[in-house]
Amino acid sequence: MDNICYGLSGRVFVITGGSRGIGLEIARRLLKNEKTKVVLCARKQEGLEQAAADLDAGDNLLALPAHIAREEDVAALFQRAKDTFGRVDALINNVGMNLLTPSTASAGMDTWKKIIDTNLNGTFLCSCAAAQIMREQGRGKIVNISSIASRRSAPGMGIYGVAKAGIESLTRVLALELAPDNIQVNAVAPSMVKTGFSAPFWSNREMHDQIVGGIPLGRLAEPADVVEPVLFLCSEGASFITGQVINIDGGATIV
């Protein structure tokens, strides 16, 4: 799929949670094939440094530490993006964090707040900051990474699923409100993707086989399976698509 081109050359992307997994693969694809500018953010400096060294993109990449649930961090992130590259054409809200919660009702407020803050509140803050810049430009794209956990309850994923459901609702609300500014807001909802984030599930053979048994295409998603739909939603080919959530689940939600 690396030979597919979406005509994104020269555009500026902000990718949250970009030091590993899906975010890192989106950045790699954008920098290698699409010749874009990328602003990569994550909480941990060491992870960002490793990602930047791996991508080796020179002045086309800006890697910045940021806690996206903190307003001041988000404001600084987008100001640096604008100061460095002059604009922000697309935001990929990719941050995903979960703490295994076998019982949501017994999880406690600290766990609830941490998961909701990082997933939902972070997506809200980054979208607001990006929208402000995009309105001035007269165009923009926001793509949120949701999950089929937003609609299908699963053990250990309760609060995470609630946060992702909020992200899908936010996607529709922002799509409606930002449409007059020529800003399209969409989301993708993968099933389990084979990354370090989900390793506690797929690394267990019994659990892996159980999950795959519910996927008609018979395998877990790879990061590349998510990257391509995201880039399409950022392209001119998706200029009349907004407020949508695309399932990337190998058919899991039709079973």
All structural domains of the chain with their residue ranges = 12-193+223-248
Query: What pLDDT sits at residue 208?
Result: 87
Lowest mean pLDDT among 151-155, 202-206, 242-246: 202-206
Query: What pLDDT sits at residue 101?
Result: 85
d(C-alpha 61, C-alpha 39), whole Å: 6
pLDDT level of residue 3 (50, 70, 90 thresholds): low
221 closest CA partner among 246, 191, 201, 199: 191
The tens digit of pLDDT for each residue in 21-68 reads 999 999 999 999 999 999 999 999 999 999 999 999 999 999 999 999
Q: Is the pLDDT at 207 greater than 90, yes or no?
A: no
Q: For the range 113-117, what are the long-range contacts, defined as Cβ-Cβ under 8 Å and sequence gap of 24 or more?
A: 115/159, 115/160, 115/163, 116/159, 116/162, 116/163, 116/166, 117/69
Question: 15 and 234 in contact (C-beta within 8 Å)?
Answer: no
Instruction: Give the mean pLDDT of 150-157.
Output: 86
Q: What are the distances in angstroms from CA 178 to CA 10, 18, 85, 95, 128?
A: 23, 25, 23, 22, 10
Compute φ and ψ for 205, nearest 5 degrees: -60, -45
d(C-alpha 214, C-alpha 217), whole Å: 9
Instruction: Give the mean pLDDT of 157-176.
Output: 96
Lowest mean pLDDT among 73-82, 84-93, 217-226: 217-226
Helices in 106-255 by DSSP H: which ranges?
A: 109-116, 122-137, 158-178, 199-202, 205-213, 223-233
Q: Which fold has domain 12-193+223-248?
A: Rossmann fold (3.40.50)
Candidates 160, 171, 175, 191; catalytic one = 160
Distance of CA 77 to the CA centre of its chain: 16
247 closest CA partner among 215, 213, 210, 218: 215
Tell me whether residue 6 is one of the annotated catalytic residues: no
pLDDT level of residue 148 (50, 70, 90 thresholds): very high
Which segments of the chain are extended strands (E)?
12-16, 37-42, 61-65, 90-93, 140-145, 183-190, 245-248
Q: Is the pLDDT at 234 greater than 90, yes or no?
A: yes
More confident residue, 179 or 198: 179
The tens digit of pLDDT for each residue in 242-253 reads 999 999 999 999
